[in-house]
A and B are shown apart, each in its own frame.
Chain A
Amino acid sequence: MSTDTDIKIEIRDLTMAYGSFVVMRDINAKIKRGEVFVIMGGSGCGKSTLLRHMIGLKQPAKGDVYYDGVPFWQSSDEARQERLRRFGVLFQSGALWSSMTLTENIALPLGEYTDLSAGDIADITRLKLALVGLKGFEDYYPAEISGGMCKRAGLARAMALDPEILFFDEPSAGLDPISSRNLDELILQLRDTLGATFVVVTHELASIFTIADNSVFLDPNTRTMRANGSPREMLKHSSDPAVQEFLTRGEKSAPAAAAKPV
């Protein structure tokens, strides 16, 4: 069964705050190697903020994130930079570098961090774009392709360095249901083939039940996590009304808001 060496990421007593305003406190979670871990919760509850803490964009007020047992924020700058190179991040809107073509976007990290020749880099770039279904768009600028394509190109860039952990911020936001489903399948395929660990921020229920092995549910009212584990198990066994309401779109509890006594 699970031993400590299986734990890829551990969030320990993490408190997130903007100045004196506490967003979430005391978040604890363990994520195993090769798992798809979903951060879920209602809009504006701090899901993306938690992700930003994990990828080094925002320093925690308290606690730390451990990767392979090594604390991230307590490490030196160099160690943190070194760790960052083993991450891939897909931002909400793709965040492709707008002054570069898709090829250049993907080639840049490869050029910076590998000793590959220009020809090898071009080959890898073409492969990564083909993997996300963007063959033929190599020389397009991000502004010339659609939002969904930007997102897929962002995924190709996130995968450029064959990362150990891939972070996705709302991958299905702004995608049609079919593209969204394709993306879910792509995530599962990548997990199976690359053996990478995934951290996904989403509130898309269909997606959550398809991809998640493990999850954390953040609740803005209590400003902490309400549940931790597989969403399917949560749906079956959780007695927490907030978790149940979220996972069932509020359809099981309180029949209709309008019928509430006023």
Chain B
Amino acid sequence: MAHVILKNASVEFEIFDARSRSLKRQLIQTTMGGRLDTNKNQRVVIKALLNVNCTFKSGEKIALIGQNGSGKSTLLRVLSNIYIPTSGTALIDGRVSSLIDISLGMDQESTGRENIFIRGALLGQSKSETQKLLNEIIEFSELGEFIDLPIRTYSSGMNMRLAFAISTVLKPEILIMDEWLSVGDENFTKKAEERMNSLLEKTEILVLASHSFELIRKTCNRALVLEHGSILFDGGVEAAIDFYHKS
């Protein structure tokens, strides 16, 4: 069973630039973003996450609510094993897949088919594993003959279709999302919606950062409210939305 346990997890960025000197003098209380502070080496640090404690279990669909710069994306990156907390611990048990940038690593000069293999390899698939999924991906993308043309010849909609078809064919245990994916024209949107729903059903844990309460109500069964890198509220979706509006 996939699970996530964060214990006092903090993420601090040291700012190495020379400008930090002047910044340091005026460590104003910010209204937005992580807390600014200085560390023991007298460097300016941004505390993007501060002592986060939470446990995610299989079956939970968690929404992250908060203003810009409240630490949602940083938390998503901790869950993706990209930022290892600078203090505290993060235990992430399960195959993580992120739908944040689904066209990441795709090469404009390569054909659609080649890009399927590139994306596959980046997502941890072996060539033979991708080979097995190849037909399904091509069929789903509805690109037809275009699959053997360089993707720079694609329209942006076609690009998205391909990226979507590749990224959603895998079955992760923990799925990371920043807002919902919407792609293509009316027909494709419907198909994509179905694909997303079946992906969510198969996923054990979903973590979704979103500003859309409608989406959160529809998709999630738990919500965290973040502010300045701390969790202010952890509980039911409706209660979290109420809390967010009041604060």
Decide whether A and B assemble into one complex.
no
Chain B interface (Cβ < 8 Å from any Cβ of A)? none
